[in-house]
Amino acid sequence: MDQITPLLILALPLCMFLFLGLAGNKMSHKMAGILGTLGMGVTLILAYSTAFTYFFSGNPDFIDAAGNRLQSVIFDFTWLEFTENLVIKLGFLLDPISAMMLVVITTISFMVHLYSLGYMHGEKGFQRYYAFLSLFSFSMLGLVVATNIFQMYIFWELVGASSYLLIGFYYTKPSAVSASKKAFIVTRFADLGFLIGILILSFFTETFNFIDMTSAPENVLASTGGATFMGASVLTWALVLIFMGGMGKSAMMPLHIWLPDAMEGPTPVSALIHAATMVVAGVYLVARMFPVYLMEEAALTIVTVVGALTALYAAIVACTQVDIKRVLAFSTISQIAFMMVALGVARPEIHEGVGYMASMFHLFTHAMFKALLFLGAGALIHAVHSNDYTAMGGLRKYMPITHITFLIGCLAIAGIPPFAGFFSKDEILVAAFENNMLWGLWMTAVAGLTAFYMFRLYYRIFWWNTPDYEKHGHVPHDAPWTMTLPLIILATVSIVAGFIPFGELVTWNREAYHIHLNWTVATTSVLVAVVAILIATVMYRKENAISDKIANSVKGLWTAAYNRFYFDELYIFITHKIIFNLVSRPIAWFDRHIIDGTMDMFATMAHKASGAIKGLQSGSIQTYVLVYLLGALLLGVVTVVCVML
Amino acid sequence: MDYSQFLAMKQEIGLLVVFLLVFLYDTFMPKKAQSNLPGVTCLFFALFTAACFCPCLLTNAESFSGMYESSAVIVTIKNILNVGVLIVLIQSMKWANSEMQIMRRGEFYELLLVTLFGMYLMISARHFLLFVIGLEAASLPLAAMVAFDKKHYESHEAAVKYIMTAVFSSAIFMMGLSFVYGLTGTLYFDGIANAIVGEDQLNVLLIVALAFVISGVGFKLSLVPFHLWTADVYQGAPTSVTSYLSVISKGATAFAFLVIMVQVFGTLYSQVWEWMLYGLIILTITIGNLFALRQSNMKRFLAFSSISQAGYIMLGVIALNTTGMASLLYYILVYIFSNLAAFGVVSAIENKTGKLSMEDYNGLYKTNPRLSFAMMLAMFSLAGIPPFAGFFSKFFIFTGAIQQGSIAIYVLVLIALINTIPSLYYYLRVVKAMFINDSETPIESFRSATSERLGLWISVGGIILLGIVSCVYNYLLDLTAPSDMFAGLL
């Protein structure tokens, strides 16, 4: 395969970012938007052709005679070479998951570019917005094609930075600023773990390269020489620390607190970054390192437990939120947790690692329908000028296209056949049941909750009671075509994506695997979902008091869930009360008095010394020559004396 | 005589051709075409620079019974200097077109090219006679260039100070050489080196001679205490000349100095000149920094900064290994970009407003954000802040020195590292003035000339690219690795 196309996939968004960032202010909004969208469109075509070539061309670089797909390094050039082992490379790794991610990222990114033409129309800083979108697309693409963990880390930080920039896009709004700060600090904190994990791992394996690590994971295990630290093996530590980075990005409990706040950013950004692409980076990371994770049962168990707890927690919280974007945010957290669980329960001996395939499948379908839901939410907010569903209701009559597409998204996420979510979620449940009955039941319950809160949202927005829109002088209506077209496209994809023979394309060992439905699991999960939807219908289809009654009857739980189980308050308590008082204050004192004092002393000394010798520079040429001569003589004499002695 | 020997001097011949073309153009072209002179010179020189990058030049050659030598490393350092000169030429176009210079700018270019020719000879010389010719050719015309602002009193004063110190230092240098000649009976580099091994190494006369030679070259490098001319001359000279003086002249001399110290006096390293240089480096870095702390004139400030930078460059000499040599080349390259970016901003502002004081830069960001950014990058690079080129050049030069391995060098590197702290302070002082300080009468917003902007773009591009792209340093490292100059000296 030629190297130009992959290179262009990365270079185009980067050039777009530089171009729009530097020259954007000189052009009109429309021009910048169209340019950005076109650039992304070309990237989309290139990425599609690359993925198509990878999956279907039959090129011996990509698939061997037995039908196993291969990992192929398209290019890998050395960026920094410190020592023979410590080499940092930047490259392009093409394998099933990276090819799939290319498709996901470029599709959603293009949709969001297109959608934003309408949604962001007339916003101040429109060009800056498009520049940041391009930067994000570049970083995310660089992340998924990383050939080594260090490259991934670099791009990992870059997506973090672009996410920070986009969350804080409305930088005149204090809440947006604090949300962007929060996102940055929390994910940075997690990335600290990631970095330490990388350092531990590469210290033992002496390589950053993914292929080296994953093709012979037993060597990775052997290289640690059975070293342990605090009762766990060093490899477990490394993997869990790396997973910590993934927890930060993918908003796993207890590092999830930034994601709901990140909804302060423009809604298309939430669709792109905080639903479809960046937040699944953690899942992608674990998938990328999966063979190494298989070496340590403990690490995978932690992945499963964290995922399962997060899934349930986020689903419960989602049932109580009023802000539609926050409902979707918690739903995202919960769905990503599904993917994590799927990875955590995947074992090669269980149906040839069906969990891995399911996780990637769900990543794919979820990206589509969650982006759809977010973009739909954007259209609603655009029409109603409020984020809360209390300001909505009965909108099905006013916004038919948004209504139908949103409904498709809800059906997909609820797992109703034949929509995409059913197939991928079903495989996850199969994997969970096969691993352990407990996880199977647990995740089925969460799936039921998902159906419930999504339809609660749906009914509150489109049915319930129609407020008097005309009284506010503003009748909601469907958005312009730039916004509805992406909705329609994504809705179509959400309907058909489930029929993609995913097992043929993406599996943990890259061998083809034939998906077959497990009817027991499928029937149960559909039944649960249908029951949940029925409950939601009863409670929310028309305005009534049932939901309030239920909320009052479990008031404590409801309030706790509404306040997200006080995680934010807990963090504030820990940081403000404990860390600030016990750690920061002493350090600040030390810094101010000891370190600054020493530095001040040096500064004063330097200034005094500089004042003392300033007479040397007198401006008189005679002095200069004299000093010169004395200097030369002194240099000679002192050396002679020293050498002779 | 075998005239094909001249073929070894391809770069010199090329430069001579450029010189002659410029000279003929200046002398014989009609008045109308004269206005294009700066552009034509830049074009010729750019073509020459590009041609010199031809890999076919990267061969080892020797001519005139070993008086002249050329090798891949030598060609490369000349190419690095060419890049710097090209930037200087581009940056000086506006100045050369000013009313005051229009009559005499032909001479400016001719003098500049002659000095560059002298530097070429210094770099390639393997015989002290040729070296001295190069040294003088690179020094004396500079005095005329320093005096180029005919109507400025400071320019004259600077030229007088420069020529007097230059002559004085030449005298001392040659006195040292005559001692060496008296002791060894030859002026060939390798001849002297061989004779020194045979002699009683710790001859008093030889040590004094060495001190004189170092002081003679130290004048051109402005090592403390041979630096006192620097600030006055840098301040008085036209800014284009100052930038030429501070980067090109210094870069060429630094490399020639490395060659002399290693090839001629290499065997005396551990006993004699390591310690001489050791003291000079500490003095140079520290005193350069201490003076830079309190300067308020930008050109004077950059003068002291360049003194302190020269101290860092000397770490590449004291390292006495190929890594040191590669990092010295790299340092010079980076230093060219960083310093020329700084001087480019200074001269753009000076040409427009005549302002040179650091206080005048207050609030520059609000009126001229791009110039401020260029200046900020230059300052960051000079101070060695990652990820800009200056960080890596410092890092590599420290690496080279550390590879020498002795504890004393560790201490030296530590001292150099500590010295980066005050340097950070004064470089950031400029940044603070531009970005943070407010001014009631800031320099008004203006658009600098195309040539000035082009020069700045190249320099800033160099600062950023060299920080990101590592292949340049690796290339230099590969280039110097086969050298056997350092074999058996430690």
Largest Cα separation within chain A, whole Å, is 105
Does the beta carbon of A566 lie under 8 angstroms from any beta carbon of chain B?
no
Q: How many CB atoms lie within 10 A of CB A495?
A: 17
The pLDDT assigned to B199 comes to: 58
Q: Which among A78, A619, A628 is the nearest to B168, CB-wise?
A: A628
Does the beta carbon of B231 lie under 8 angstroms from any beta carbon of chain A?
yes
The pLDDT assigned to A336 comes to: 92
H/E segment holding residue A228: strand A228-229
Give which of A61, A54, A35, A44 is closest to A8, Cα–Cα: A44
Q: Report the residue of A628, A637, A644, A645 to disrupt the B interface, i.e. the one with the largest count of B CBs within 10 Å.
A: A628
Give residue-wise pLDDT tens across range A429-480. Answer: 888 888 888 888 898 999 999 999 999 889 888 888 777 777 766 777 778 8
Q: CB-based burial of residue B428 (10 Å sphere; 0-12 exposed, 13-18 middle, 19+ buried)? A: middle
Average pLDDT over residues A493-508: 84
Average pLDDT over residues A480-490: 87
Q: What is the DSSP letter of A148?
A: B
B157 φ/ψ angles, rounded to the nearest 5 degrees: -55, -45
Chain B 10-39, residues with CB within 8 Å of chain A CB atoms = none
Which residues in chain A touch residue B226, judged by CB atoms under 8 angstroms apart? 628, 631-632
What tokens does B449 get?
Answer: 């000339």
Instruction: Give dist(CA B146, CA B112) in Å, integer.
Output: 11
Q: Are B316 and B281 in contact (CB under 8 A)?
A: no
Chain-chain contact of A614 with B294 (C-beta, under 8 angstroms): yes
Q: Report the residue of A605, A635, A644 to disrupt the B interface, i.e. the one with the largest count of B CBs within 10 Å.
A: A635
H/E segment holding residue A233: strand A232-233
Whether the CA torsion A618, A622, A626, A632 is positive or negative: it is positive
Which residues in chain B touch residue A635, judged by CB atoms under 8 angstroms apart? 211, 214-215, 276, 279-280
Backbone Cα Rg of chain A: 28
Planar angle of CA B124, B128, B130, nearest 5 degrees: 55
Q: Residue B369 corresponds to which amino acid?
A: P
CA A52 to chain centre: 25
Does the beta carbon of B229 lie under 8 angstroms from any beta carbon of chain A?
yes
Q: Report the residue of B228, B305, B308 to disrupt the A interface, i.e. the one with the largest count of A CBs within 10 Å.
A: B228
Q: Which residue on chain A is closest to B272 by alpha carbon?
A: A639
| B278 Cα to chain A: minimum distance (Å) | 11
Q: CB-based burial of residue A215 (10 Å sphere; 0-12 exposed, 13-18 middle, 19+ buried)? A: exposed
Chain-chain contact of A628 with B215 (C-beta, under 8 angstroms): yes
Q: Across-strand partners of A75? A: A92
Whether the CA torsion B204, B210, B212, B215 is positive or negative: it is negative
Instruction: Give dist(CA A288, CA A243) in Å, integer.
Output: 11
Instruction: Give dist(CA B252, CA B81) in Å, integer.
Output: 7
Instruction: Give dist(CA A533, CA B489) in Å, integer.
Output: 85
Does the beta carbon of B280 lie under 8 angstroms from any beta carbon of chain A?
yes
Q: Which among B165, B212, B231 is the nearest to A625, CB-wise?
A: B165
Q: Which among B228, B276, B293 is the nearest to A606, CB-wise?
A: B293
Instruction: Give dist(CA B128, CA B182) in Å, integer.
Output: 13
The pLDDT assigned to B201 comes to: 62
Q: Are A339 and A355 in contact (CB under 8 A)?
A: no
Tell me the residue ranges of DSSP E strands in A189-268. 228-229, 232-233
| B23 Cα to chain A: minimum distance (Å) | 35
Instruction: Give dist(CA A245, CA A194) in Å, integer.
Output: 4
What tokens does A587 get?
Answer: 């350090």
Question: What ipTM does this complex have?
Answer: 0.90
The pLDDT assigned to A473 comes to: 66
Chain-chain contact of A631 with B226 (C-beta, under 8 angstroms): yes
Chain-chain contact of B211 with A639 (C-beta, under 8 angstroms): yes
Q: Which residue on chain A is closest to B469 by alpha carbon?
A: A79
Q: Which residue on chain A is closest to B209 by alpha carbon?
A: A636
Does the beta carbon of A610 lie under 8 angstroms from any beta carbon of chain B?
yes
What tokens does A632 get?
Answer: 């030369």
% of chain A with per-residue pLDDT over 90: 22
Q: Are B483 and B329 in contact (CB under 8 A)?
A: no
Q: Residue B242 corresponds to which amino acid?
A: T
* 3-state SS assignment for residue B132: helix
Which distant-in-sequence residues (6+ apart) come within 8 Å of B30 by Cβ? none
Q: Which residue on chain A is closest to B167 by alpha carbon?
A: A625
Average pLDDT over residues A243-266: 88
Q: Are A533 and A411 in contact (CB under 8 A)?
A: no
Cβ pairs bridging A and B (under 8 Å)? 93
Which residues in chain A touch residue B215, judged by CB atoms under 8 angstroms apart? 628, 631-632, 635
Does the beta carbon of A590 lie under 8 angstroms from any beta carbon of chain B?
no
The pLDDT assigned to A518 comes to: 79
Give residue-wise pLDDT tens across range A532-561. Answer: 999 888 888 887 777 788 888 888 887 887
Phi-psi region of A183 (alpha: psi -120 to 50; beta: other; left: phi over 0): alpha
What tokens does A507 get?
Answer: 């599996």
Chain-chain contact of B470 with A633 (C-beta, under 8 angstroms): no
Average pLDDT over residues A10-37: 88
The pLDDT assigned to B405 comes to: 86
| B100 Cα to chain A: minimum distance (Å) | 27
CB-based contacts of B475-484 (< 8 A; 24+ apart in sequence): B476/B76, B476/B326, B476/B327, B476/B329, B476/B330, B477/B322, B477/B323, B477/B326, B479/B72, B479/B73, B479/B76, B479/B326, B480/B73, B480/B322, B480/B323, B480/B325, B480/B326, B480/B329, B481/B322, B481/B326, B483/B73, B483/B322, B483/B325
Q: Report the residue of B267, B287, B290 to disrupt the A interface, i.e. the one with the largest count of A CBs within 10 Å.
A: B290
H/E segment holding residue A77: strand A72-81
Does the beta carbon of A640 lie under 8 angstroms from any beta carbon of chain B?
yes
The pLDDT assigned to A603 comes to: 80
Which residues in chain A touch residue B290, judged by CB atoms under 8 angstroms apart? 606, 609-610, 613
Does the beta carbon of B296 lie under 8 angstroms from any beta carbon of chain A?
no
H/E segment holding residue A87: strand A87-94
pTM, whole model, 2 decimals?
A: 0.70
Q: Which among B202, B214, B293 is the nearest to A635, CB-wise?
A: B214
The pLDDT assigned to A615 comes to: 78
* Mean pLDDT, all residues of chain A: 86
Q: Are A631 and B315 in contact (CB under 8 A)?
A: no
Does the beta carbon of A56 lie under 8 angstroms from any beta carbon of chain B?
no
Q: Which residue on chain B is closest to A22 by alpha carbon?
A: B370
- The alpha carbon torsion through A154, A160, A166, A172 (nearest 10 deg) reads -120
Instruction: Give dist(CA A146, CA A217) in Å, integer.
Output: 18
The series of mean pLDDT values per 10 residues for chain B, 490 residues long, is: 84 94 90 86 94 89 90 94 95 87 87 95 94 93 90 89 93 94 91 79 84 93 91 92 93 94 89 90 92 89 94 94 93 95 93 88 89 93 90 93 91 92 90 89 86 93 88 89 82
Q: Which among A78, A614, A639 is the nearest to B207, CB-wise?
A: A639
Chain-chain contact of A640 with B290 (C-beta, under 8 angstroms): no
Q: Which residue on chain A is closest to B289 by alpha carbon?
A: A610
Which residues in chain A touch residue B280, judged by CB atoms under 8 angstroms apart? 635
| A598 Cα to chain B: minimum distance (Å) | 13
Which residues in chain B touch residue A619, judged by CB atoms under 8 angstroms apart? 232
Which residues in chain A touch residue B214, judged by CB atoms under 8 angstroms apart? 635
Whether the CA torsion A56, A60, A65, A67 is positive or negative: it is negative
Chain-chain contact of B212 with A632 (C-beta, under 8 angstroms): yes
Chain-chain contact of A81 with B225 (C-beta, under 8 angstroms): no
Average pLDDT over residues A359-372: 91
Chain-chain contact of A610 with B290 (C-beta, under 8 angstroms): yes
Instruction: Give dist(CA A223, CA A221) in Å, integer.
Output: 5
* 3-state SS assignment for residue B287: helix
Give which of A339, A371, A356 is closest to A105, Cα–Cα: A371
Q: Which residue on chain B is closest to A88 by alpha carbon?
A: B470
Give which of A180, A187, A101, A192 is closest to A142, Cα–Cα: A101
